Structure 1
């Protein structure tokens, strides 16, 4: 059973999401929030597996709420799937930098919504990797280079193999595909990934993609 917290300031959108999720097998909606402050409190109280997070809300927005929830969360931390109107959106990029696991367009259909919840809940692959990569490429070299350099994790702490796994994650490969590419087992891929996430203090696979681009490990336009 995957537990989900739904966060959106618009009642009709929130109610629609809740209705779709409650009708789906294997999903339990454990709470609803209309702003970031409520989301932080409910996330701590209900400890959901997945949080559907609106970005633009009065008071605390989705980016700050995502950062606050993940900083407070005990293991395993919830996976945050942000809801947006536009895919190439600097707010979405900010949410991925804060640790969100992926994003979903608000006009997506029910099947897309359920697939996204399943993908981020599983955590072994990026949801819509080509779109995620396009978003990160669009914003990874924008403003505040000095501030970002100070905040950027040190990928020099990674081993050669961990660096290679990070590069392939940024290319959108699944754990199975990485294992095939490097001739190692999926369990070994997960070990390298877990060590990488710990060393770089990362919360999600999508955040790892951001770090790979911002550090220069992967350049815009590079493939897998």
Structure 2
């Protein structure tokens, strides 16, 4: 049986590395990207089963940065389920990711990094089981 492939798109190398190690321990094949451009390329190249996309993929210090939603739109257009992850959860960001405006929502779920790896793993498992 093929292992599910997970794409991690996050501009924090430390977060990507820790999540990559955890996902590999769980038996997943993992691809990673650190920018919008790399993430879009990785979506096309790896066709992951799930994409984990950081909301502030360009600049963690910019409260207006929602560049991860661009990647989520590309993932949606490729029929790849996307989970938005962020260290800066807000109601507005959640609405943007999950709200439908005449189209499918950009993401299937939204997880705060502060929720910990178990919450993210539970979400990944739920997405893969559908």
Unpaired runs of 5+ residues, structure 2, are: 60-65, 100-104
- The size of the alignment, in residue pairs, is 117
Note the C-alpha offset of 1:87.
4.1
The structure with the larger Rg is: 1
Q: Which residue of structure 1 aligns with residue 106 of structure 2? A: 99
Q: Which residue of structure 2 aligns with residue 28 of structure 1? A: 29
Cα 1:9–1:86 shift into 2, 3 Å = closer
Q: How does 1:139-218 map to 2 (within 5 A)?
A: none
Find 2:7's aligned residue among 5, 8, 11.
5
Q: Which residue of structure 2 aligns with residue 126 of structure 1? A: none
Normalized per residue, which structure has more strand? 2
Per-residue CA deviation, residues 75-121 of structure 1 (Å, 9 max, x unaligned), is xx211011023443312321223420001111223322211111122
Note the C-alpha offset of 1:36.
1.5
TM-score calculated relative to the size of structure 1? 0.48
Unpaired runs of 5+ residues, structure 1, are: 124-224
Q: Which residue of structure 2 aligns with residue 81 of structure 1? A: 83
Note the C-alpha offset of 1:18.
0.6
Find 2:71's aligned residue among 65, 74, 84.
65
Supply the distance in 2 between the matched residues of 1:106 and 1:90 (Cα, whole angstroms). 17
Structure 1's consecutive aligned runs of 4 or more residues displaced over 4 angstroms after TM superposition are none
Supply the distance in 2 between the matched residues of 1:119 and 1:81 (Cα, whole angstroms). 11
Which of 1 and 2 has higher RCO (CA within 8 Å, sep 6+)? 2
Per-residue CA deviation, residues 59-87 of structure 1 (Å, 9 max, x unaligned), is 8811111112322x1xxx21101102344
Query: RMSD across aligned C-alpha pairs, in angstroms?
Result: 1.8
Structure 2 residue 116 is matched with structure 1 residue 114:
no
Normalized per residue, which structure has more helix? 1
TM-score calculated relative to the size of structure 2? 0.80
